[in-house]
Amino acid sequence: MSPNYDSGPMAPARPATVADVLDAAADHVEQYGLERGWYSVDPMPAPCCTVGAVFYVTTGAPEPVKLALADDALDALARYLDGQRLIRGASPEAVVIDWSDKTDADEVIATLRHVAQQHRQAAQSGGA
């Protein structure tokens, strides 16, 4: 966990579902801004790329950390963005980074929220 992350009693609750992760990442980008070409800048909280925001809201660190919930959120977003590229062998993280680095913050926020809503609806209907 990042030493800059507030893990005290006022720290935000960690998201519990893929949809919650995507919404929390959108909130982070909306509040702190979108970073391009790098996961984040220090100290946290700070602007993050989309992948950095997903890692930060799930682990407290904007760098890659192996956590199933973060991986699942990146996979859901990458499938929405370019599922064919995943089939050809690209990693979800690579798909999201490539998209995030050429996208503005408003589109990132809207897309994260849209995919979160789709995932929530699929989960409610038994599809996710």
Residue 60 inside a domain? The answer is yes
Tell the residue number behind the tokens 């519990």, with chain if given. 16
Residue 100 inside a domain? The answer is yes
Helix 18-32 / helix 105-124 crossing angle, nearest 10 deg: 160
Q: Which of 15, 75, 25, 24 lies closest to 50 in space, CA to CA?
A: 25
Residue 2 inside a domain? The answer is no
Residue 49 inside a domain? The answer is yes
Residue 75 inside a domain? The answer is no
Q: What is the pLDDT of residues 66-106, one digit of tens each?
A: 789 999 999 999 999 987 887 788 899 999 999 999 999 99
Report how many domains make up the chain.
1
Residue 9 inside a domain? The answer is no
Residue 34 inside a domain? The answer is yes
Residue 2 has pLDDT above 70, yes or no: no
- Domain containing residue 43: 18-65+82-124
CA dist., res. 41 & res. 35, Å (int) = 8
Single-letter residue type at 108: V
- Any idea which of 8-12, 15-19, 56-60 has the lowest mean pLDDT? 8-12
